[in-house]
Structure 1
Amino acid sequence: MLDPALLRHQPADLAERLRTSRGFELDVSALESLEADRKRIQVRTQELQSLRNSRSKAIGQAKAKGEDVSAIMAEVAAFADELKASEVALDELREKIEAISMGIPNLPADDVPAGADENDNVEQARWGTPRQFDFKVLDHVELGARNGWLDGETAAKLSGSRFTVLRGPIARLHRALAQFMVDLHTGEHGYEETNPAAEVRGRPVQDRRG
């Protein structure tokens, strides 16, 4: 996740790094405007909160002395609406800034070489020799779909994209892996297998009668 401090204190430097490493254009002026508004409203909100707390304490002290608190209460009521509006505005600004930050890609480490695509990757180590095949190599999605064992089209209708329905041997393999995990942890790692009731009672009703 991107360091929020970079957004707040170094937006121009961040924008340049994103441009050169990711090809991403960060709207620095919009971000700086939002951040300036956030700081201004946050300061005012904290001032109003501090004032509310101090005047509320003064009301309690005045009441304890039997003094008239109507003037203090009127003062508190006078800035209550401003405080509420300020808190709402501050939340909205934070949401806008967060929305921008969530759309910014992560920065690569400083030692990662610049490159346009995967062809510019630098090989760090190699183990073994890649196998050579005399036929077209298919990925697991193509292999599964060929026999109808991986059904992404049906899954998309049920749950959305990036899901799949498993059928036949792949479904059995999936179940076997889950069974293997349960057997391993209950048999060797000290876990206890538990099958809870299918229904759970609601919160008990308390009898408030005397």
Structure 2
Amino acid sequence: MTKPTTHHEALIQIANLGTCANGKTPAYKLFQQALDIAVAALDIPVYHNPKPVAAHLQPIFDENNRVGLLLIQRGDNLGWAFPSGWIENTDDSAETAARRESDEETGIVTHNGELFYSEITPGGIIMLFSRCPVALSIDELIFFKPNREALAVRVAYEPEELVFSSHTEAMKRWFKHKPPVVDEDELTRLAGATYQAAMRD
């Protein structure tokens, strides 16, 4: 393959390679190969936009009204962490992404939270932590089923070292400030009161 000397030649090579998959090499790999050649030959600047990770801090209360945070044992067996994952193009916000990841990994239906902490890891990953204002009962943990992303779940009632330093820091900050939370029954009562007030107005 000759190196392209113009943008037009580069685009022709990209088009040719991108459409000649031989059944063994996926077309997108051939396309990427041609794109890399074109970029190198034409000295085209390439920008790598980081894809943020959203993590969900879900409060859980037990039979003694202790409030802690939901943790998962990661499917890669590295250790314990908050439910988290990459923000997808279909997510409306980081808070929505965090909740989606938590629901997918734990099987426990949660509520949207609010962003309260962010950090850029040494590896350049943008971490966005969302804390949920609605506490769930520990009884909800019965809905968890082990899966490839989460082997187990439990509740932490005090700060501890998690598998990622950013998760550890987010946990420390949550417990230090201990934001007020409501349970779902209180949320329903408040929603009902708000609705009645709106009807009166």
- TM-score relative to the length of structure 1: 0.16
Larger gyration radius, structure 1 or structure 2: 1
- TM-score relative to the length of structure 2: 0.17
- Larger relative helix fraction: 1
- Larger relative strand fraction: 2
Q: Which has the higher contact order (CA 8 A, sep 6+)?
A: 2
